[in-house]
Amino acid sequence: MCGISGICMGHYDRDDEDGSCDAAQDLHESLYYLQHRGQDAAGIAVCSEGGRIYSCKDNGMASKVFNDGKRVVDLHGWMGISHLRYPTAGSSSKAEAQPLYGICLSHNGNLINAAELREYLDKTAHRHVNTSSDSELMLSIFANELNETGKARINEIDLFSALERTYKRCRGAWAAVVMIAGYGICGFRDPDGIRPLVWGRRPSATLEGAYDYMLASESVALRQLGFRDITNVLPGQAVLFKKGSTPVLTQIQEPAGYTPDVFEYVYFARPDSEIDGISVHKSRENQGIKLADKIKRTLGEEALKEIDVVIPIPETSNTAAAALATRLNKPFSSGFVKNSNQAWADKGTTRTFIMPGQSVRQKSVRRKLSTIESEFKDKCVLLVDDSIVRGTTSQEIVLMAREAGAKKVIFSSSSPEILHEHLYGIDLASKKDLIAHGKTTDEIAAHIGADKVIYQDLKDLIAACAELSPRDPTTQNFEVGVFNGCYVTPIPEGYLEHLSELRSGNKKRKHRGPLVASSGPTLDAPADAPAAKAANVNGLASRARAEPRSPGRSADIGIHNVAGEEEN
């Protein structure tokens, strides 16, 4: 899972002193509203007049990468894109930090036919693929299709035709924003609508009658930056922004369905966002109500009376737990306290769900959470979490509850048992590492140390979200393959085994090839060019800046990494 955004300013003044015309200012702010979607790396690329591209990207949280905004001041441009990476395929190398250069692309999702695409690029398109990131594959496919036009400068028809051919080659889930130097910003979404993407507009701060246009993974990023008329990019649709023009919307491919990933509502999205017209907050309230009814049916009246307090595992489950407590007429308590100290946050108290490595996740739980002993001591506690994946976090949480004095611990999950791999951009685990795979609920309870474990029913989770849909709730579907093994798209033969192998053990092994510098555009160079010639770095702040040339036909479609030495 990743967070992406893109912006096209309605007016640009290179002499603007407060930066209100610079796309990078808003892109930088958007990263903080989307940080929960990716904590592995962050990047921004902007395009200035003359087609010059300036960028900054590196491993780490946005505040670290951009030095709390100090590295943004030299990113001058009237349009740009940003990206927060949560790696799901490939390595955790800096070389895979997006945005990717030339034609700059930021991508959220996962391509399930990556092997086929890589072979096509190698044997047919004769394009070098520098990293194991499927985002580079999508960029290279799209760039190759644009190159097939043979034009030095493209128009809308060329762009959308290239996208249509890209859609025919790619399989999986994607929401992407692409920036073409000197031309515009385009956002597009997979034909099933699995990954979210929204766009909106706001009046220009410097030119009356003009509008700024922005795309983002979640509506909260747009709303907080003053954008209104927020609209979903529909499945299979693309929207193009060019300076001084109204947006152009085109249906690239007919929708195969409208099936957003239900895990957005369970866990990933912020509660103050709407995903495809469905309030994340309200959906979690519904999840809590339906889970409460399941608990009633499971425990019975007598056992239900034993529960003294309902306690959420902060923060995603807070809303569901509050609604559940009200439904059961039980006291609600924030018995776990989340460590919000920023210094600790920078050291690893971020979302344990998306941390690579089980030992890191386990150690992080106690850094992230502590207990208020009075809320547990001598009580039967009903804990509410959004999900149980590997069981590592749940096991540590139950142990903490018992250490705080709980006499009985019932652990409940707002989502059903996770039994299968996630294919479309959320790195849950390989099937054999999923705690629910091959175990009964009693065995799961014993494994995590709880007295009982109760899961949401899948039909109730679907209903909790579908009831809020602006479309027909009776026909609203979701991607729920992690729960039942029925995925939205056809799965290539051998892909599940390949994915399981990637995610098992040391799945995020270090990439030992060249690394990208933390800033600097690169332009096209032949695959066999010497490294010294292929690398073109424009430093920020204290570094000397190398002026890139404006991309021409071949220069704006290809290479995207600055060579460097790997850090130990």
Compute the distance between CA of residue 218 and CA of residue 175 in angstroms, rounded to an integer. Answer: 11
Cβ–Cβ < 8 Å for 309, 335: yes
Task: Write the CA distances from 49 to 53, 312, 378, 406, integer angstroms.
Answer: 9, 51, 67, 63
Element counts in the chain: helices (H) and strands (E): 17, 20
Known binding residue 386? Answer is yes
Residues 6+ apart with CB under 8 A from 124: none
- For the beta sheet containing 211-216, the strands, ordered from the edge strand earlier in sequence to the opposite edge, are 53-59, 41-47, 79-85, 3-8, 211-216, 198-203, 228-232
Distance CA 23, CA 48 (A): 9
* Residue 426 DSSP SS3: coil
385 labelled binding-site residue: yes
Contacts for 363 with CB less than 8 Å, ≥ 6 apart: 348
The residue whose two tokens read 């559940």 is 324
Residue 385 has φ and ψ, to the nearest 5°, of -125, 165
What lies within 8 Å, CB to CB, of 256 at 6+ separation is 191, 192, 235, 236, 488, 489
Instruction: Give yes or no for a contact between 217 and 196, defined as CB atoms under 8 angstroms apart.
Output: yes
Question: What CA–CA distance (Å, rounded) separates 429 from 431?
Answer: 6
What amino acid positions are annotated as catalytic residues?
2
The first and second tokens of residue 501, run together, are: 């192998």
Annotate 180-214 with b (16+ C-beta within 10 A) or e (fewer): bbbbbbbbbbbbbbbbbbbbbbbebebbeeebbbb
* Rounded distance between C-alpha atoms, residue 532 and residue 540, angstroms: 20
Burial 479-498 (b: 16+ CB within 10 A, else e): bbbbbeeebbbebeeebbee
Query: What is the C-alpha separation between 199 and 539, in angstroms, rounded?
Result: 31
Question: What are the binding residues?
Answer: 316, 385-386
Question: What are the binding residues for Mg(2+)?
Answer: 316, 385-386
